[in-house]
Amino acid sequence: MPLRLALVAVIGAATLSGCMRFTADLRLEPDNTVDGTYVVAVENGTGNALGISDAEAAQNMYDDSGLASQLAHSMQRVYRDDGFTGVQVEFRGENLARFAPTDDRFGVIREGDEFVVSGPSSEVSEDDAESLKGADLRVSIEFPGPVTESNGTVEGNTVTWNLVGGPDVLTARGSAVRSSSPLGAILMTVLVLGSAGAVLRSRFLATNGPHRKQPARPRPTSASPQRPPSTPGKQRRPAAASAPHQPRPAPPRK
């Protein structure tokens, strides 16, 4: 990561203007790639002292820094914000090996399930540091998981260093494994319970039907009395014929 070269390149312009901006925001990914943004900008009006525009002054500093040669996939756009003009460079999926530390510059490597930041921060001398007091020179590195060690300012999973008046050596260590979110665990539990409930409901409906009822038993009515069933092989005897009615004889007269 040739950030020290970038600092050297911008010191001259910063001395002339007294105020400039150089920031590097890096995001480390678990698959050993790096996403990030570089901003190289000067305070509006700085280019007048150099006989060029502010955008040209910032572009020259970026070109001299050597940062562009270290990136395989980047996109550049004009940067204008808070009274500064320059270039903003965004990159995605850069190989972590491009950001390895050396004897004279800091960088990042992976050790097991952790990313480790180490190495010298800059070559800014005491005289240069005095002239850069009004400059904004920062490096921020976001880890996938929690930060376990650093000599910078930690906010969440991000460590930030101020390169003006900051430590001579940058150190940090953080998880290379993305931490799971409690919300994700809750959503997963809800999905599992919902799926289980749907399976149980479908099995219940397949067995019992949505509105299945027991068949009603027929109830006897007085209009149609129930007769006992006849036994096969037996025939009912016909009822005996009744004798004709005979009138009773009258009693004899006396």
User: SS3 for 130?
Assistant: helix
Per-residue confidence (pLDDT) for residue 19, from 0 to 100 = 79
**Residue that is written with structure tokens 């590195």 in the block:** 141
Q: Is-above-0.75 flag for pTM?
A: no
Residue 56 buriedness (CB in 10 A; 0-12 / 13-18 / 19+): middle
| pLDDT for res 99 | 94
Give the C-alpha separation, 109 to 173, whole Å: 10
- C-alpha span between 65 and 99 (Å, rounded): 15
Residue 245 DSSP class: P
Alpha-carbon distance of 236 to 223, in angstroms, equals 23
Residues in the chain: 254
**pLDDT value at position 121?**
84
In this prediction, residue 164 carries a pLDDT of 82
Nearest alpha carbon to residue 48 among 80, 13, 82, 78: 13
The pLDDT assigned to 68 comes to: 86
User: Rounded to 5 degrees, what are φ and ψ at 56?
Assistant: -65, -40
Q: What is the pLDDT of residue 228?
A: 56
| Closest listed residue to residue 35, CA positions, set 86, 108, 96 | 96
Per-residue pLDDT tens, the chain, 254 aa: give them.
455 545 555 555 555 545 789 999 999 999 999 999 999 999 999 888 889 999 999 999 899 888 888 899 899 999 999 999 999 999 999 999 999 998 888 999 999 999 999 999 865 555 666 666 678 889 999 999 999 999 999 999 999 999 888 899 999 999 999 976 554 445 455 455 556 566 666 665 666 655 555 555 666 555 555 555 555 555 555 555 555 555 565 666 65
